[in-house]
Amino acid sequence: MVVQLFNTAIIMDEKVETLKAELQRVREENNTLRLMLEVLNSKCTKLEIHLQEINKAQHKGMSSNQIGSVTVPPMFDTNKRPRLELPTAKKPLQIFVRTHPKDDSLIVKDGYQWRKYGQKVTKDNASPRAYFRCSMAPMCPVKKKVQRCLHDKSIVVATYDGEHNHAAIHESSSSTSKGSSPVVNNLPLMTSILNDKEPMNIGLALSGWSQTDHRRHCEDAMQQNNNNGGSNIRIEEYVSSLIKNPDFSMSLAEAVVRTITGQQKQQDINLNLDLPEE
């Protein structure tokens, strides 16, 4: 009886240690995410300064959208919510989205409405590739391909092709489709504008990464984007549209909670995750 109690105590101690370690790991993840948010906020600040410069220039009678050598998209002309700008066909934009590992749908919420027109299993990836056309405007030429990452099934890769000829809608909880497929509550992890077939860079994947890895990869990705010349403008636009999205913080928090700890620990995480309110 005493021995049994002793063994139970040992098991409890082990569980406590495990939970402590898990808590420590979650805190480290939390710190990493804070760092990411700081980076995003700094970019937001930069963009706000940029916007102010544009407004000043307009007040001074500058007629065009040109600021120096940078062409400013029309969305900065008004106070409208920034539109998700997509690249031309020459440089397909790839967005990596982490979804719930058990979720096998191929829906990426990006502010546009898509109609699926085909699905194929490709040679290099066992996961089927879904083909979507933008259905928000009848003549919109934009297409996208969505396929799960070969190495990490919880990441879906959305490849955009073409340029929208209309504005995006803001959808916080609606699906991209009206059909039977379930809604994936997800958010882009990393965008990458690819030239031809340069290796893909899966950014900000949360599972199984140490804090150092997260931070280094995050900084590398940001640095890479900063060095990306003209593409950086579009990346920043995208980042800006994300952080101005009132649901972004909540989506981020939810995705992090699900990814790191699973649904059971959501309440505990929410206590520690003091994300800035938008």
* 34 is an interface residue for DNA by CB under 7 A: no
* 123 is an interface residue for DNA by CB under 7 A: yes
* 176 is an interface residue for DNA by CB under 7 A: yes
Residue 271 burial (C-beta neighbours within 10 Å; 0-12, 13-18, 19+)? exposed
Sole window of 124-132, 187-195, 242-250, 253-261 interacting with DNA (rule: CB under 7 A): 124-132
* 115 is an interface residue for DNA by CB under 7 A: yes
Q: Would you list the DSSP string of 32-80?
A: HHHHHHHHHHHHHHHHHHHHHHHHHHHHTT--SSEETTEEPPGGGGSSS
CB of 91 to DNA, least distance (A): 15
Residue 117 CA to residue 112 CA, distance in Å, equals: 16
Q: Assess contact for 88 and 163: CB atoms under 8 A.
A: yes
In the complex with DNA, which residue's Cβ is closer, 147 or 225? 147
CB of 165 to DNA, least distance (A): 17
CB of 179 to DNA, least distance (A): 2
* 6 is an interface residue for DNA by CB under 7 A: no
x/- site string to DNA, residues 126 to 165, per CB under 7 A? ---xxx---x-------x-x--------------------
* 244 is an interface residue for DNA by CB under 7 A: no
Residue 2 CA to residue 250 CA, distance in Å, equals: 49
Phi then psi for residue 144, to 5 deg, are: -145, 150
